[in-house]
């Protein structure tokens, strides 16, 4: 931050030093020897009026213009060139002031430094708050679309306006950097209309397989599909009862998950297809072999041979290789 300034009769002074009772001000131009003394509250005491030039009213207007641009850059997210143009259009400047006014490029360095000074630092942890300034648009609409914890150390943030989402949802082709997702690879499924629809769905519901054990990654992409079967090896009546219990558990978990993820189920587009077939174990049960019989028999033969060799050495009184 620069030194404080004092304005007296269109002359600008800067603070030189202060004591326990007095502040000493000097003129901003080194060639001018004018000085001012004030108390600690900047109340005028006396002035050494030795100005060797006329008041620089134009420089004062330039300072005021620069301060307006700086304050807007600090409190707004509007691009600095646009702020500069708007303030130029609103200001009623004289020809002499316009000639002395610095360009936007000449002012951009100091204005950018002032804006960066209030910009929050990039967080190094996953748990942090997002200020309203960065979660709302200039028209106070929502700009933070997704804020979701994937794991304890991973977090997804998606910023977009409603107009940008409409543009993306309606696109048939989306250009990306070409890298594959390292979070939740999808092995099956495809888009219905827009190519972004399954991507957004996967982003929202990538943790479904962790929410309840019946879900798998290839069972959902843009829509949820579930395939269930009753337990084998029991009577058909018992199979139906077991399947009914599994379905009840599945729907309870799915409904609870939809509440937690704030994604309600569209029951109007929910369909069910039922197939029934009684399956039981064959009687008598056939003997099954895994195809490792020759290797197993060879291993057993080696074990018997080595056991016989050990017993022979023991009966012969041999206790060492020597």
Sign of the C-alpha dihedral, residues 254, 259, 260, 265?
A: positive
Alpha-carbon span 188 to 223, nearest angstrom: 11
The per-residue pLDDT for range 193-209, each reduced to its tens digit, is: 445 555 566 556 666 66
Radius of gyration of the chain (CA): 40
> What is the DSSP track for 273-285?
----------SSP
Where are any strands of DSSP class E within the chain? Answer: 5-8, 11-18, 22-27, 35-39, 44-48, 144-151, 154-159
Judge contact between 261 and 242, C-beta under 8 A.
Answer: no
- Phi then psi dihedrals of residue 240, to 5 deg: -65, -40
The pLDDT value recorded for residue 183 is 42
Alpha-carbon span 78 to 34, nearest angstrom: 40
Nearest Cα residue to 115 out of 83, 155, 148: 83
Per residue of the chain (322 residues), give pLDDT as tens: 566 777 766 677 777 788 888 888 777 777 777 777 888 887 777 777 776 666 677 777 788 888 888 888 888 878 888 888 888 888 877 777 777 788 888 888 888 888 888 777 777 777 788 888 788 887 888 888 888 877 667 788 888 888 887 777 776 666 666 554 444 444 444 444 445 555 566 556 666 666 676 666 554 455 666 777 767 777 777 877 888 888 888 888 888 777 776 667 777 777 776 665 555 555 666 665 555 566 677 777 777 777 776 666 555 554 444 4
Rounded (5°) CA angle 256-259-263: 125
Long-range CB contacts (< 8 A, 24+ apart) of 39-43?
A: 42/4, 42/6
């Amino acid at each position: 931050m620069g030194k404080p300034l004092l304005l007296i009769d269109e002359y600008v002074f800067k603070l030189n030093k202060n004591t326990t009772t007095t502040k000493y001000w000097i003129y901003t131009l080194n060639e001018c020897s004018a000085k001012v003394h004030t108390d600690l509250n900047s109340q005028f005491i006396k002035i050494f009026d030795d100005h060797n030039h006329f008041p620089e009213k134009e420089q004062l207007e330039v300072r005021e213009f620069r301060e307006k641009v700086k304050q807007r850059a600090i409190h707004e997210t509007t691009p600095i060139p646009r702020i500069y143009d708007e303030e130029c259009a609103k200001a009623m400047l004289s020809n002499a002031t316009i000639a002395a006014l610095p360009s936007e490029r000449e002012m951009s360095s100091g204005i950018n430094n002032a804006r960066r000074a209030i910009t929050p630092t990039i967080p190094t942890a996953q748990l942090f708050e997002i200020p309203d300034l960065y979660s709302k648009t200039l028209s106070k609409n929502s700009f933070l679309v997704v804020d979701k914890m994937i794991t304890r150390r991973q977090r997804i943030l998606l910023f977009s306006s409603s107009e940008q989402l409409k543009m993306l949802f309606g696109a048939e082709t989306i250009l990306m950097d070409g890298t594959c997702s390292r979070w939740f690879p999808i092995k099956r499924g495809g888009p219905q209309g827009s190519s972004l629809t399954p991507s957004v769905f996967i982003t929202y519901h990538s943790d479904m397989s962790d929410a309840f054990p019946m879900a798998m990654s290839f069972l959902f992409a843009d829509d949820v599909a579930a395939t269930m079967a009753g337990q084998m090896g029991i009577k058909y009546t018992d199979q139906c009862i077991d399947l009914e219990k599994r379905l009840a558990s599945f729907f309870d978990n799915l409904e609870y998950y939809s509440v937690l993820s704030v994604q309600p189920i569209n029951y109007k587009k929910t369909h069910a297809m039922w197939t029934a077939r009684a399956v039981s174990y064959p009687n008598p049960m056939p003997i099954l072999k895994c195809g490792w019989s020759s290797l197993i028999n060879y291993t057993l033969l080696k074990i018997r041979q080595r056991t016989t060799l050990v017993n022979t050495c023991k009966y012969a009184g041999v206790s060492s290789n020597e």
